[in-house]
Amino acid sequence: MYGSTRAKRGIAAAAVAAVAVPLALAGAALAASPAAAETLPSLPGGTKKAKTLVIGIDGLRFDKLRSGDAPNLKALMAGGVTASSNLYAQPFAPTVSGPGWSTIATGVWPDKHGVHDNSFAGSQYDKYPDFATRLETAQPAASTLVVGAWEPISSKIFSPKVDVRVSTDENDDLATADTAQYLSTGNPDVAFMHLDAVDGVGHNNGGSSVEYAQAVREADTRVGRVLDALRGRATYAQEDWLIMVTTDHGHTDSGGHGGDTPQERQTFVIANGGGMPAGTVRDDVRLVDIAPTVLKHEGVRIDPAWGLDGQPIDEIKADAFDALRPTLSERVDETGIPAGVKGFTHTTPQGWSIDNSAMPTGGVTEWRGWSFTTDEFFTRAEGNAQAREGNVRSRNVFAVADSDEWDDKAHAAGQFDSTLVSPAYPVEGKAKAELSYVSDYQVDGPQTGDVYVSWDGGAPKPIKSYRANTNQVERLTLDVPAGAETAQIRFRYTGTNSRFWAIDQVSLTTSGATNPGGGDPLSGNQVITTTVKNTGGLTMTVDGGTVTLPSPELTAAGDRLASSGALNTVQVTDLRTADPGWNVSGQVTDFAAAGGAGGAGFDGSALGWTPKVVRAGDGQQVTAGPPVAPAADGGVKTARTLGRAVAGHGRGTAVLGADLSLNLATTTAPGTYSATLTVTAI
């Protein structure tokens, strides 16, 4: 917390309206606090097996956690995934609590959620809500709890859709007691607890003080009390708990935060349980990954349209640049970077190359031409005057061209001019290619950034140019020329004592068979399998990809099992000159027992869907088919429209999808069942 205002303990008005029966807090199991005997609002009972507890410890420096007396937190680290990372700094956003906790809760960076200080002016929580609100939207029966020692946690960052929001007026003992009580006697599906005292001691005594170390010990003890309550639940053995611990910023040695020092920018994520591999240390996990990790664990499908910056931790994959981390070198000319900090190389990953044929000789060694570096090294080369701390979408090792730093040492005449060249990606037989990469382009002088594609080693053709500040994930759709077999990407940067261009997570994926040029229907099948278990668990597999569904639950009528999933996306590319429009439909067969196990099968009409247009090209007029409820007039067993384009507006590429719903009788025998969904375009 930084520059906060104190607030009385309370519940947000919308949460109070949902209170039904008061829950008396029995404080005997926890540290005594006069307020611990107060009546707490009733929390709706959760029903999910998958449960999540997120613990936020305000202002906790990761280096002081590692060196401190914190057995409970270190046990969570040893039993799960631990990742340290750095925050942004000004002008992107200061290292204060408003932006920090908003980033953690929403899964997006401050340039999206809009919170840049503790006034919360400009917040866009309506567009980027917190993870508990997203869970409530997707699964209204879920039970959600937020306990915040800092009042804005419960009143501003987490929305009124959360079942219970409690503020404890900066009292960590009370926050601990409340959270433990709800875990012991209630049944939350997702809980968030915020502790504040470490931050207060950091302000008063400094991050390197004896008092700060003591505050870390006390925070660890409070975490232990909450974990004891969680593990003491009568149903704990039957539950799948994910426990995550994090912080919003660090502290200077002398005390305070909001600036750009490494100590203030320190953050971390601990993820224990929920399938997280024990004893894993990672360099590619950031604060924005907490929200999507929680949502995935709770069975919520993450819609790409949400625009989250984070990813579920188990889905974050290392790219080619990350493999360079063990080979990184210490400083050469950059004397401002501490000795022993390894963070740069000009050696390229396999298949990549750097063309420095136009680079003048000389200049700062670390930045002569494209370099591969880390945030720790790159941001220490120059303070926040160059906005390096805003390169938040890069992970682990990234590529950078930096004319400002290179120009700090004498060099031959000429400007910085270097080109980063990708491997040759295979595209044979495909109609489309999507180039995706993180691009942080910052300019304050003469500078250019251009992206080119070369088909089969031919002349490079420009596909994207940068002349103004840009910080985002780019996704560029390319038309693959007929007969092309490979595509190679070039990133060329020129500059004269300007800023930089950072590139990361480069990938090129292909889709769509080469257009046959005819008007005959195109057809493809998706195999759908579903498993009904004795426990009610259900798994749906679509076209080789598995969609894990929440356990079926009885509907209000009490006579059905229901679950849901998502159809693999269907891409439609129409290059016909006449542009007659097109229609895509789908039809599923009956479900049969796989391998003779289970029952005799069930009717395909049990499957329904809600079609949607995931993406349409410029000028296309594409509409989704109407929703079809399970068993209504035959469900999707009857041919149903997935999407259509009107004549004169169908040329281009569109991507269709559908949310699937399955509705079964409770008498359905345990077993694995499969059906085939045929998608036809005409």
SS (H, E, C) 311-369: CCHHHCCCCHHHHHHHHCECCCCCCCCCCCCCCEECCCCCCCEEECCCCCCECCHHHCC
Q: What is the pLDDT of residue 498?
A: 95
Phi, psi of 608 (to 5 degrees): -120, 175
pLDDT digits (tens, 9 = 90+) for 222-274: 999 999 999 999 999 999 999 999 999 999 999 999 999 999 999 999 999 99
Q: What is the pLDDT of residue 71?
A: 98
How far apart are the C-alpha atoms of 574 and 652, rounded to whole Å? Answer: 5
Kindly state the helix (H) or strand (E) to which residue 226 belongs, with its residue range.
Answer: helix 210-231
How far apart are the C-alpha atoms of 439 and 429, rounded to whole Å? Answer: 29
Is the separation of the CB atoms in 93 and 259 below 8 Å?
A: no
Torsion of Cα atoms, 605 then 547 then 595 then 640, to 10°: 30
Is the separation of the CB atoms in 125 and 291 below 8 Å?
A: no
- DSSP symbols for 468-526: S-EEEEEEEEEEPPTT--EEEEEEEEEESS--EEEEEEEEEEEEEEPP--S-S-EEEEE
Q: What is the pLDDT of residue 382?
A: 83
Neighbours of 541 (CB within 10 A): 18
Both structure tokens of 294: 């929680």
DSSP 8-state class, residue 453: E
Both structure tokens of 657: 């999808």
Phi, psi of 569 (to 5 degrees): -65, 150
How far apart are the C-alpha atoms of 46 and 426, rounded to whole Å? Answer: 49
Write down the residue that tokens 């040759």 correspond to: 424
Both structure tokens of 228: 């004891």
CB-based burial label for 638 (10 Å; 0-12, 13-18, 19+): middle
How far apart are the C-alpha atoms of 115 and 297, rounded to whole Å? Answer: 27
Neighbours of 666 (CB within 10 A): 12
Torsion of Cα atoms, 234 then 235 then 236 then 237, to 10°: 110
Q: What is the pLDDT of residue 515?
A: 43
Kindly state the helix (H) or strand (E) to which residue 49 belongs, with its residue range.
Answer: none
Kindly state the helix (H) or strand (E) to which residue 4 belongs, with its residue range.
Answer: none
How far apart are the C-alpha atoms of 275 and 398, rounded to whole Å? Answer: 28
Task: For residue 227, give the amino acid letter.
Answer: L
> Among 682, 678, 669, which Cα is nearest to 589's?
678
Neighbours of 518 (CB within 10 A): 8
Helix (H, G, I), strand (E, B) or coil at 63: helix
How far apart are the C-alpha atoms of 85 and 249, rounded to whole Å? Answer: 10
How far apart are the C-alpha atoms of 552 and 569, rounded to whole Å? Answer: 24
Q: What is the pLDDT of residue 227?
A: 98
Burial 94-130 (b: 16+ CB within 10 A, else e): bbbbbbbbbbbbbbbbbbbbbbbbbebeebebeebbb
Is the separation of the CB atoms in 176 and 222 below 8 Å?
A: yes
Q: What is the pLDDT of residue 547?
A: 36
Q: Is the peptide bond before 91 cis (omega within 30 degrees of 0)?
A: yes
Mean pLDDT by 10 residues, the chain (682 residues): 32 24 23 46 94 98 97 98 97 97 98 97 97 97 97 97 96 97 96 98 97 98 98 96 98 96 97 96 98 97 95 96 96 92 96 97 98 96 84 98 96 97 94 96 96 96 96 96 96 96 96 56 51 35 38 46 79 82 87 63 86 88 90 82 89 87 78 77 82
Q: What is the pLDDT of residue 660?
A: 86
pTM: 0.73
List CB contacts of 317: < 8 A, sequence separation 6 or more: none
List CB contacts of 54: < 8 A, sequence separation 6 or more: 104, 190, 191, 192, 193, 243, 244, 245, 246, 290, 294
- Side-chain half-sphere CA neighbours of 69 within 13 A: 9
Q: How far is CA 644 from CA 506, 519, 585, 608, 636, in A?
A: 32, 15, 9, 18, 17
